Amino acid sequence: MQPKDFYLAKKAVYEKEATKLKAQLSSSSFMRFLVFLATILGIYFFFQNTILVAAIAVFGIALFSYLLIRHTNLQSDKNKAQKLLEINTTELEVLEGKYHHLDKGQEFVNPSHHYSYDIDLFGKGSFFQYINRTATAEGKSELANRLTNNNIENIIGKQESIKELVDKPEWRQLFTALASLVKVDYPSSKILSWIQNYTSVIPKTMVWLPLVFTVISVVIIALAALQIIPFSFVVTWFIVGLIISGIYVLKVNHLYESSTRAKSTFKQYYQLLEMIENESFTSKILNEKQQVIKAEKEKTSVIFAKFSKLLDALDQRNNMMIGFVFNGLFLRDLRISYNIEKWIEKYHVYAKRWFEVITFFDAENSLANVAFNHPEFVFPSLVEDRSVIAATELGHPLIANKNRIDNDFAINSHQFFIVTGANMAGKSTFLRTVSLGIVMANAGLPVCAKSFEYKPIKLITSMRTSDSLTDDESYFFSELKRLKFIVDEIKTENYFIILDEILKGTNSTDKAIGSKKFVQKLVASNSTGIIATHDLSLCEIEQELQDVKNYYFDAEITNDELHFDYKLKTGVCKNMNASFLLKKMEIV
């Protein structure tokens, strides 16, 4: 089934389900009203019959409570169906090229990064905006990291992980839906810091004192009800409970403030852990991640669920009945606070690993979604020979199929291609196409190509340089700093280097001399790359160095109009169009 057909089918299912649940919710609300009304009327009409009134009250409250729980579950199911409907609607929009309303990942824009700024990895219309479907802040950061870490290790393992999740679209969507339904306002990194650095303040006596106090309270209340002891005993004992609770109120308040921030996170995470635990995984990476949360005797999801309930329980202390009466009679806050601290003490060393598993799957789902949406893309075949990239019909994944012009492209280790061409002929797009192909391959993603043989290599670029008024730097000095950064990096690592019009900020003579010497320096290293330029003198290096090859993109002027075929050709460009464009636009 094609992605569009899958999403259309799922959208229809969830539309129908959401509509059905909406009707059930309306019926549920009406039923609760009827039960409430019937209970009130029953008590009113049979007020003189104490036993019957008590029976009506008990039955009415029980039935109303059941209907309330059922209504809550129906609302949860409706919210889930609605979120799944939104997910499939979004995917259909993205397939049509409508993705500019999604998260841009603007916070990850970094002009100093090895390549992300040059190839528009983040920002409006970026690759990140196109693929990001993460539902947690940590998953979003992990996805950004996967695209920028320049990690060339275990690409086959990454591919296997993504391929397995490609075949689990319903699971991925449900994971995202559940993660999206709980609003989390506090970063999990700060919650982890709280858990890992927390020092217990509730004394160990609270393991038994609240229980003993509760038993005594029940006995005193029962004796007072039977008029064996005066009611004043209950009041006195109640005040004793408030005094004990009051001794620790500041410490409990401090714990309450921190736990309130963590409550929504654990409510979200235990559901996601349960999904991961219950799914079957065969790929090595996914299986290893799953085993991290299966290491304990008790399911990690159950451990998180228990903690979530404890946090919810402590959050209810603001209720007058719970906060005042239950503390006076049962030392409720102290019992719950002790259990929270006991959980932290027992599991704080594992929490970081458990959080990381959820973060991993959130990010991995986005990568798998790319592969699912593009069955025409190809997973790179890794090679160990001289070839670095050997691709057929390589294209840019963000350009629609109907508009995209693909190119065959092959480059060997230590080779450098000098690419010339007219303005707007496709040089920059080609550079970004190759760059993004490398990034996708290193992340384990399929590449926008018919075939893609690849020897893993790290990427570094210099395609977009700007001056800095803040740092009082000229354009030329900024560019020199970037080139120096590249020179330093290739001393210790092999890189695929992509440069677009180097030394733009100086005069033609210095540019020609400097560019030639810089290219010679790059060729002498163990790196590989592409250099785009308008300086045709740079093409002469092909005659001097056998690892330098010339390629170009052409433009033709026909009937006073520019025409581009956007195809990469062997040789040097002969048709430049700057003068034509200046005249055409009536600038000169």
Q: Which amino acid is residue 317, in one-letter code?
A: R
DSSP state of 133: -
d(CA 244, CA 233): 17
In whole angstroms, what is the distance from residue 455 CA to residue 441 CA?
A: 10
Location of structure tokens 């906060």: 323
Q: Which of 294, 280, 339 is nearest to 314 (CA)?
A: 339
Three-state DSSP state, 561: strand
Q: What's the mean pLDDT when you consider all of the chain?
A: 88
- Exposure string of 246-275, with b = 16+ CB inside 10 Å and e = fewer, is eebeebbeebbebbebbbbbbbbbbbbbbb
Contacts with 370 (C-beta within 8 Å, 6 or more apart), sequence order: 131, 377, 445, 446
CATH assignment, 381-584: 3.40.50.300
Phi, psi for residue 418 in degrees, rounded to 5: -100, 120
Contact 543, 417 (CB under 8 A): no
CB 409 within 8 A of CB 569: no
Q: Please give the pLDDT value at position 559.
A: 61
Q: What is the mean pLDDT of residues 194-206?
A: 88
**Residue 558 burial (CB < 10 Å; 0-12/13-18/19+)?**
exposed
Q: For 108-165, how does the pLDDT look when each residue is reduced to its tens digit (9 = 90+)?
A: 999 999 999 999 999 999 999 999 999 999 999 999 999 999 999 999 999 999 999 9
Which residues fall within 8 angstroms of residue 213, CB to CB, at 6 or more apart?
241, 244, 330, 331
Q: CA angle, 473 as apex, 467 and 476 as ends, to 5°?
A: 65
Q: Tell me if residue 191 falls in helix, strand or coil.
A: helix
Across the range 320-346, mean pLDDT stands at: 86
Higher pLDDT, 255 or 555: 255
- pLDDT-derived band of residue 238, with 50, 70 and 90 as boundaries? confident
**What does the block give as tokens for 580?**
């034509």
Q: Which two tokens stand for residue 537?
A: 């003198």
Q: What is the pLDDT of residue 575?
A: 65
Between strands 561-564 and 555-558, the pairing is antiparallel
Task: Give me the helix-helix angle, 332-373 and 137-148, nearest 10°.
Answer: 40
- Cα dihedral 522, 523, 526, 529, rounded to 10, equals 80
Return the residue matching tokens 């810091």: 193
Mean pLDDT of 349-359: 92
DSSP string, 456-504: --EEEEE-----BTTTTB-HHHHHHHHHHHHHHHTTTS-EEEEEESTTT
Q: Which two tokens stand for residue 186?
A: 């506090």
Residue 469 pLDDT grade (very low, low, confident, very high; cuts 50, 70, 90): very low
Asked if 429 and 498 touch (Cβ cutoff 8 Å), the reply is no
CA distance 145 to 121: 11
Output the CA torsion sign for 35, 36, 37, 40: positive
Mean pLDDT of 253-263: 86
In this prediction, residue 165 carries a pLDDT of 98
